Amino acid sequence: MTLLLAIMALAASAQERKISGTLTDNDTKEAMEQVTVQLLRTDSAYVAGTVSDMRGSFSLKAPKNGKFLLKLTSVGYKPLVKNITISGDRNVNMGNMTMSEDAVMLKGATVTGQAKKVVVKEDTFVYNSSAFRMDEDVPLVVPECNAEDALTRPRGIIANPNCTTIMMVVALKAFEKLSHIKRVHVSSYQAASGAGQAAMDELYEQYRQVLAGEPVTVKKFAYQLAFNVIPQIDVFQDNGYTKEEMKMYNETKKIMHSDVETSAMCVRVPSLRSHSESIWIETERPISVEEAREAVKNGEGLVLMDEPEKKEYPMPLFLAGKDDVYVGRIRKDLANPNGLTFWIVSDQIRKGAALNAVQIAEYLVKVGNVK
């Protein structure tokens, strides 16, 4: 009995300690999703980071004993900083924390003109917006693909790409190492959460209204999304493509430093969280399925989930809250001898947005470019 208790105590002490908590809006009391959570040393040196999930919850691996700062930031809200002292083997539960809106933030604004040139001096700013993405003097970075680009930033700004582009280029990078990719055809299946928490709430309400036989509320999308798909994300351009589709065309070239041509069809689907993409690529030489699977296994930020005989493939229902890009359904393109087709799923709120920005910061700290 004594031996059993000793083993149990040893196992418990070996478990990772966690810092956890939940975040809510001070006024509405609603859970706050996609809040950037950073653990800092008392001298503000970065230690670890994550983002809150759709329930407003977060969890971080606790470092060794000491005093730290927990910094919480979200666009439109006042930053929140908490002091933490870590000691012993117990987890640190911060409980529920509330964040207040920043009175100086403008609400409900849409920028339609050309943004003025911005220079950030003696600091680095990762900008999660399309405003600077295609500016020549602003690097557009996905760390798995072009982390080094972040080292050259004349204006002190690093741009975070569009969510659908991020998850796609992480997968493309693995295949580009095998043979240059000439063309990409992609169809995206984008969850309601891509349009924000209010869109997710509306989808829930639409399903309830349909099943109850009530009139359906439509505010966030052009049409009812429940039991439907909408083949439009963002506004249409003169060439018939939407702005979302043209982001994938332009951003892929810039990130991959390539002449790759991309043709996209972006579709909103009635799922809540995580985007999916069906992708066809044409390479300079044929890539076998075996080569492709091995490339995914060894690829940074990728997880292979491709056992069709066991009905194992990526699905958004099961991958919300995950950090990686999941790849499956890898097969040869029957219409092109140099073609390969596959399916990917990733949580666009994590890898497609906040997590990518955190990874950029982690890279800069790792190489000693920022402190």
Q: Which residues are catalytic?
A: 163, 275
Query: Which residues are CB-contacts of 355 (< 8 A; sequence separation ≥ 6)?
Result: 50, 51, 323
The span from the CA of 111 to the CA of 88, in Å, is 50
Query: Which residues are CB-contacts of 121 (< 8 A; sequence separation ≥ 6)?
Result: 156
Q: How far apart are the first and last CA of the chain?
A: 51
CA 247, chain centre distance (Å):
16
HSE, side-chain direction, 13 A CA sphere, residue 23: 28
> Position of tokens 């403008």?
106
Tokens of 97: 């924390």
Tokens of 263: 């043709």
Kindly state the helix (H) or strand (E) to which residue 342 belongs, with its residue range.
Answer: strand 339-346
C-beta separation of 204 from 197 below 8 A = no
C-beta separation of 225 from 268 below 8 A = yes
Kindly state the helix (H) or strand (E) to which residue 199 belongs, with its residue range.
Answer: helix 197-212
